[in-house]
Amino acid sequence: MKFNGMYYIIVIGLFASCASSSSSSSTSAQNITDPTKLSTTYRELADYLQRVPGISVTRRGNSYSVLVRGMSSISGSNEPLYIIDRIQVGSYDQAAAMVDPNDIARVEVLKDVASTNIYGMRGANGVIIIHTKK
Protein backbone atom coordinates (compact mmCIF):
# COMPACT_ATOMS: atom_id res chain seq x y z
CA MET A 1 0.00 0.00 0.00
CA LYS A 2 1.39 3.40 -0.92
CA PHE A 3 0.43 6.46 1.13
CA ASN A 4 2.06 9.91 0.89
CA GLY A 5 4.94 8.50 -1.12
CA MET A 6 5.76 5.84 1.51
CA TYR A 7 5.11 2.14 1.30
CA TYR A 8 3.33 0.43 4.19
CA ILE A 9 3.29 -3.28 4.77
CA ILE A 10 0.41 -4.81 6.67
CA VAL A 11 1.16 -8.17 8.27
CA ILE A 12 -1.95 -10.22 8.94
CA GLY A 13 -0.41 -13.42 10.27
CA LEU A 14 3.10 -14.68 10.76
CA PHE A 15 4.28 -18.02 12.02
CA ALA A 16 7.83 -19.29 11.91
CA SER A 17 9.50 -21.96 13.96
CA CYS A 18 12.46 -24.26 13.89
CA ALA A 19 11.62 -27.93 14.15
CA SER A 20 14.55 -28.63 16.46
CA SER A 21 13.64 -25.89 18.95
CA SER A 22 9.87 -26.20 18.76
CA SER A 23 8.06 -27.82 21.66
CA SER A 24 4.53 -27.48 20.37
CA SER A 25 1.71 -29.66 21.53
CA SER A 26 0.00 -30.87 18.41
CA THR A 27 -1.49 -34.20 17.48
CA SER A 28 -2.03 -35.64 14.03
CA ALA A 29 -4.13 -38.60 12.98
CA GLN A 30 -3.98 -40.06 9.49
CA ASN A 31 -7.03 -41.84 8.11
CA ILE A 32 -8.09 -43.72 11.24
CA THR A 33 -9.17 -47.12 10.01
CA ASP A 34 -8.79 -50.64 11.29
CA PRO A 35 -6.93 -52.74 8.69
CA THR A 36 -8.65 -55.91 9.90
CA LYS A 37 -12.07 -54.55 8.87
CA LEU A 38 -12.80 -54.20 5.20
CA SER A 39 -15.23 -51.30 5.52
CA THR A 40 -14.99 -48.82 8.34
CA THR A 41 -17.62 -46.14 8.00
CA TYR A 42 -18.30 -43.22 10.26
CA ARG A 43 -21.85 -41.95 10.55
CA GLU A 44 -20.94 -38.54 11.95
CA LEU A 45 -17.91 -36.33 12.36
CA ALA A 46 -18.02 -37.01 16.11
CA ASP A 47 -17.47 -40.74 15.44
CA TYR A 48 -14.20 -39.86 13.71
CA LEU A 49 -13.08 -37.21 16.21
CA GLN A 50 -13.57 -39.57 19.17
CA ARG A 51 -10.67 -41.65 17.87
CA VAL A 52 -8.24 -38.72 17.49
CA PRO A 53 -5.86 -38.32 20.44
CA GLY A 54 -6.24 -35.07 22.34
CA ILE A 55 -9.93 -34.49 21.57
CA SER A 56 -12.73 -35.02 24.07
CA VAL A 57 -16.18 -35.55 22.52
CA THR A 58 -19.34 -35.71 24.64
CA ARG A 59 -22.94 -35.91 23.50
CA ARG A 60 -25.43 -33.40 24.86
CA GLY A 61 -28.93 -34.21 23.66
CA ASN A 62 -28.93 -33.92 19.87
CA SER A 63 -25.62 -32.07 19.65
CA TYR A 64 -21.99 -32.74 20.53
CA SER A 65 -19.51 -30.88 22.68
CA VAL A 66 -15.91 -31.08 21.45
CA LEU A 67 -13.05 -29.94 23.68
CA VAL A 68 -9.34 -29.77 22.93
CA ARG A 69 -7.93 -28.19 26.09
CA GLY A 70 -10.75 -28.88 28.51
CA MET A 71 -12.96 -26.26 30.13
CA SER A 72 -11.26 -22.86 29.96
CA SER A 73 -14.25 -20.57 30.40
CA ILE A 74 -17.24 -20.77 32.71
CA SER A 75 -19.58 -18.46 30.82
CA GLY A 76 -17.97 -18.27 27.36
CA SER A 77 -17.58 -20.79 24.59
CA ASN A 78 -15.04 -23.58 24.97
CA GLU A 79 -15.41 -24.76 21.39
CA PRO A 80 -12.24 -25.09 19.30
CA LEU A 81 -11.73 -23.49 15.92
CA TYR A 82 -12.40 -25.85 13.01
CA ILE A 83 -10.50 -25.51 9.74
CA ILE A 84 -11.56 -27.71 6.83
CA ASP A 85 -9.25 -27.57 3.81
CA ARG A 86 -8.00 -24.07 4.78
CA ILE A 87 -11.51 -22.69 5.42
CA GLN A 88 -12.34 -21.51 8.95
CA VAL A 89 -15.61 -22.94 10.21
CA GLY A 90 -17.44 -21.56 13.22
CA SER A 91 -18.85 -24.52 15.14
CA TYR A 92 -19.03 -28.30 15.27
CA ASP A 93 -22.46 -28.30 13.62
CA GLN A 94 -21.16 -26.29 10.66
CA ALA A 95 -18.08 -28.51 10.37
CA ALA A 96 -20.21 -31.66 10.49
CA ALA A 97 -22.42 -30.27 7.71
CA MET A 98 -19.41 -29.44 5.49
CA VAL A 99 -17.44 -32.68 5.65
CA ASP A 100 -18.23 -36.34 5.21
CA PRO A 101 -16.23 -38.22 7.88
CA ASN A 102 -15.43 -40.99 5.40
CA ASP A 103 -13.63 -38.45 3.16
CA ILE A 104 -11.18 -37.31 5.86
CA ALA A 105 -7.54 -37.91 4.98
CA ARG A 106 -5.88 -36.36 8.05
CA VAL A 107 -6.78 -34.46 11.21
CA GLU A 108 -4.36 -32.19 13.09
CA VAL A 109 -5.05 -30.92 16.59
CA LEU A 110 -3.20 -27.80 17.73
CA LYS A 111 -3.28 -27.36 21.50
CA ASP A 112 -0.67 -24.94 22.78
CA VAL A 113 -0.22 -21.20 22.43
CA ALA A 114 2.85 -21.46 20.21
CA SER A 115 1.03 -23.39 17.51
CA THR A 116 -2.33 -21.60 17.73
CA ASN A 117 -1.04 -18.00 17.89
CA ILE A 118 -1.55 -17.44 14.16
CA TYR A 119 -5.31 -17.85 14.69
CA GLY A 120 -5.49 -15.26 17.49
CA MET A 121 -8.41 -15.41 19.91
CA ARG A 122 -10.29 -17.80 17.62
CA GLY A 123 -7.65 -20.45 18.37
CA ALA A 124 -7.61 -19.87 22.13
CA ASN A 125 -9.53 -23.11 22.78
CA GLY A 126 -7.46 -25.15 20.35
CA VAL A 127 -7.63 -25.72 16.61
CA ILE A 128 -8.85 -28.81 14.75
CA ILE A 129 -7.54 -28.88 11.18
CA ILE A 130 -9.30 -31.37 8.90
CA HIS A 131 -7.73 -32.34 5.57
CA THR A 132 -10.05 -34.19 3.18
CA LYS A 133 -9.20 -36.54 0.34
CA LYS A 134 -9.05 -34.66 -2.95
For domain 25-132, the CATH superfamily is TonB-dependent receptor, plug domain (2.170.130.10)
Q: Is the pTM of this model over 0.75?
A: no
Per-residue pLDDT 10s for the chain (134 aa) are 556 666 666 555 544 444 444 444 555 555 454 443 434 567 888 888 888 888 889 888 888 888 887 766 666 678 899 999 999 998 899 999 999 888 888 888 898 888 888 888 888 888 999 999 87
Q: Quick one: which H or E segment has residue 105? A: strand 104-110
Position 29 scores a pLDDT of 56
Is there a contact between 31 and 112 (Cβ–Cβ < 8 Å)? no
Helix count (H) and strand count (E) of the chain? 3, 9
Q: Where are the alpha helices (DSSP H) in the chain?
A: 45-49, 92-98, 113-116
